[in-house]
Chain A
Amino acid sequence: MASEIPLVLICGGIPALLLFLWVALWTIGYPLMFIWAVLTSSRKLDKRVTALVERETISKTHFGRDPLSTLRGEYHSSGVKKSGLVYSGVVFGPSHWHLLVAWWGNLIGGRIDILHRVIAAARAEAQQRLREQAQADGWDEVLNVRIDTAEMTPASQPKGVRAVEVFAYGTGVKYG
């Protein structure tokens, strides 16, 4: 009978159960996830980079060349029919295995290749999404492209999600 359960048990029991679940998730779930990360994260990154190259080829075939440029576009100010903002972003993080490898590399010093690869993939992804967005909106070219990077987690908080946000934006133009 629900009415016979003392209030104390309800008040204390539910948080305790949640806490227990949380601890269980940490002690059992985390190591499993970590092992999974060790086994799959590098291959996953390689796969994404390979897919990106393919998507880039498709976009470049559609536009006839790379549609993105950092030029301001004064060189063809005549002939432009329409212009407007186009933007895209991606939040991308290294796996905890990559972070461990990077930490190890930090001790030795020098180039930390694994993190470089993660960030490079994130940037390429953001640019590719900008190309795809430009294609969806019907632009012929994207001028004045800027690429911003922002940390999702502030440096003052050492724990939590480790990820960077890459945001790309530019002005799409359409020739008449």
Chain B
Amino acid sequence: MTSLLGNMQHVVEGIIVVNTETIAGKMITQNLGVVGGSTVRAKHVGKDIGAFFKNIGGGELKAYTELLEESRSEAIGRMVADAAARGANAIVNVRFATSAVTGGAAELFAYGTAVKVE
């Protein structure tokens, strides 16, 4: 599985990203507010047509799986950049939201709470 973040999905510019409220073994000392990142992406028409014909036979649509994987990494990257700009060193309680703007294009949104931990 390849993503923009490489194989180690959690290592993003030295910021710890978790979807739990606390980080085990660390103490939250400062709350820096909600941070988020989003992206809208689409595959080109050729891939869409390919996916449509693949869809007739059913099963996984790899082109779309990849599309969402890439977009999600990008959304996380933007969220992390937002947190870094606020001087945070961790993001806790991360959530994801997806919406289909139009067929084949997807909006991915990642958000969480930027905190300082010790």
Contact = CB atoms under 8 A, between A and B. Distances in A.
A169 B76 CA distance: 13
Q: How large is the interface on A (under 10, 10 to 19, 20 to 34, 35 or more residues)?
A: 35 or more
A96 B55 contact: yes
A67 to B, nearest CB: 15
Interface residues of B, number: 44
A13 interface: no
24 contacts: A33-B53, A36-B57, A37-B56, A40-B57, A41-B57, A44-B58, A72-B20, A83-B16, A84-B10, A84-B17, A85-B94, A87-B9, A88-B1, A90-B60, A91-B61, A95-B57, A96-B56, A137-B10, A148-B98, A151-B100, A152-B103, A153-B104, A161-B103, A167-B98
A85 B9 contact: yes
B8 A48 contact: no
A170 B19 CA distance: 6
Contacts, number: 161
Contacts of B8: 137
Interface in A122-138: 125, 129, 132-133, 136-137
Which secondary structure characterizes the binding site on chain B?
mixed
B106 interface: yes
Residue from B21, B22, B25, B95 with most neighbouring chain A CB atoms (10 Å): B25
Given A153-B103, A161-B104, A118 B65 contact: no
A169 B58 contact: no
B101 to A, nearest CB: 8
B1 to A, nearest CB: 6
A154 B9 contact: no
Interface in B4-53: 7-11, 16-25, 48, 51-53
A132 B7 CA distance: 11
A86 B25 CA distance: 19
